[in-house]
Amino acid sequence: MALKATIFKADLQIADMDRNHYADYSLTLARHPSETDERMMIRLLAFVLFAEEGLGFGKGLCVDDEPDLWRKDLTGHIELWIDVGLPDEKWIRKACGRAGRVAVICYGGRPAEVWWSQNRDKLEKLGNLRVYFLAAEASQALATLASRTMRLQCSVQEGQVFITDGERSLTVEPEARSGRG
């Protein structure tokens, strides 16, 4: 019998001063059996960083041709494609051909640095791609906020994301490594 996804609920209050976006969101996240709390929380961070009407979670790990998050226009054209982790360079090129903008949020410390050094030259040529890196300590700290029911306040200012659940707080600063996407 196949393992089923674990369902998480997240109520987010987002105050993004960099983009002048202020909104509350009630989200349902399905954590794939092979997904860690760390990866799931980075998907949630990606939502905070790019939050706007129409942004939603894709099937991600379950389906090969869908991102972790995306936003489509009313005609079905993909305006924004977001992947988390260390995707294959060919997969990223394909995403750049299908979407107006593509963002990749990398994490994992040393493996992420190796991935970047192996793919940097090819990825920097993609005009609609932006690659972000999270420090290993930051992504691990995010995982500590994971719970089946989350109420998080998130503030974004000058590229820093401050997140609190009322008891614990942390600051995450994704580092943009390439692109204009």
In tens, the pLDDT along 113-172 reads 999 999 999 999 999 999 999 999 999 999 999 999 999 999 999 999 999 999 999 999
For the whole model, what pTM was predicted?
A: 0.93
Q: What is the dihedral of CA 48, 69, 109, 39, to 10 degrees?
A: 90
Q: For the residues 64-71, what does the mean pLDDT come to?
A: 86
Query: Is the distance from CB of 61 to CB of 34 less than 8 angstroms?
Result: yes
Per-residue confidence (pLDDT) for residue 82, from 0 to 100: 97
Per-residue confidence (pLDDT) for residue 64, from 0 to 100: 62
Q: Is the pLDDT of residue 62 over 80?
A: no
Per-residue confidence (pLDDT) for residue 121, from 0 to 100: 92
Cα 12 to Cα 26: distance, rounded to the nearest angstrom:
6
CATH of domain 6-179: 3.10.640.10
pLDDT tens digits for range 1-57? 567 888 999 999 999 999 999 999 999 998 988 899 999 999 999 999 999 999 999
What's the distance, CA 8 to chain centroid?
A: 16
pLDDT level of residue 180 (50, 70, 90 thresholds): low
